[in-house]
Amino acid sequence: MITARRPYPSDVSDEEWSLIVPYLLLMKEDAEQRRHDLRELFNGLRYVIRYGIAWRAMPNDLPPWSAVYQQSRRWMEAGCFEAVVHDLRAVLRLAAGKQAEPTTAIIDSRTLRSTPESGSRAGYDGAKRKNGSKLHMAVDTLGHLLALHVTPANRDDRAEAGPLAQAIQQATDGSVELAWADQGYTGSKAANAAKEHDITLEIV
């Protein structure tokens, strides 16, 4: 006799599911080749993220870990989660009385200490005295994420101003005109790299 599994705290609610399912449908929800319920696959992904476990450590009452992993890769490659973040940011900005797309960004970086799994991604950040990876981030003035990319920790912030500016414009349809940054982005190298993507870099 098959019984329904006990819900996990990480399970998506009915209301959440109705909002997010349009972003996840790479084919019909009831497609004949689908062997596992789409909502349960998404719950499996949320479980892995929520508890920080290995894929193979997923509970047996969720779909097989391999099915959850494969579907998660399809979602990521199709840009499903970027679309969710983009639309949610626009909704939150409109609710705050702002335009849907920002004209100003704030950029910065953060170094995370490496783990044995970091491998070749790790580098030594002399300023922070850490061996690890560096997150290069951009947010709007409300703190909503615009762009993020990861490099070894020894990468200079100035060298990443150009790629970050390009990612900002891709995420906002080219609406950003000004980016604020700290002293780590001083000099003409970073300013010129940002200017190539129509962003004026201002050090504060």
Q: Is 84 helix (H, G, I), strand (E, B) or coil?
A: helix
In the predicted model, what is the mean pLDDT of residues 39-55?
Answer: 94
pLDDT tens by residue, 110-149: 888 876 655 666 777 767 677 788 889 999 999 999 999 8
Rounded alpha-carbon distances, angstroms, from residue 138 to 102, 117, 118, 176: 12, 26, 23, 11
Q: What is the pLDDT of residue 5?
A: 80
Q: Is 191 helix (H, G, I), strand (E, B) or coil?
A: helix
Residue with tokens 């998660």: 72
CB neighbours (10 Å) of residue 7? 9
Q: What is the pLDDT of residue 1?
A: 41
Q: What is the pLDDT of residue 112?
A: 82
Is a pLDDT exceeding 60 seen at residue 3?
no
pLDDT tens by residue, 146-200: 999 888 888 889 999 999 999 999 999 999 999 999 999 999 999 999 999 999 9
What is the model's pTM? Answer: 0.76
Instruction: Determine the Cα–Cα distance for residues 191 and 169; give it in Å rounded to an integer.
Output: 15
pLDDT tens by residue, 78-92: 999 999 999 999 999
Which alpha helices (DSSP H) does 111-186 contain, by range?
161-172
Name beta bridge partners: 112. Answer: 133
Q: What is the pLDDT of residue 40?
A: 94
Residues in Cβ contact with 100 at an 8 Å cutoff, skipping those fewer than 6 apart = 90, 93, 94
Question: Are 47 and 27 in contact, with CB atoms under 8 Å apart?
Answer: no
In the predicted model, what is the mean pLDDT of residues 30-52?
Answer: 87
| Better-predicted residue by pLDDT, 6 or 196 | 196
Give the pairing of strands 123-125 and 130-140: antiparallel
pLDDT tens by residue, 138-158: 999 999 999 998 888 888 899
Is a pLDDT exceeding 50 seen at residue 15?
yes
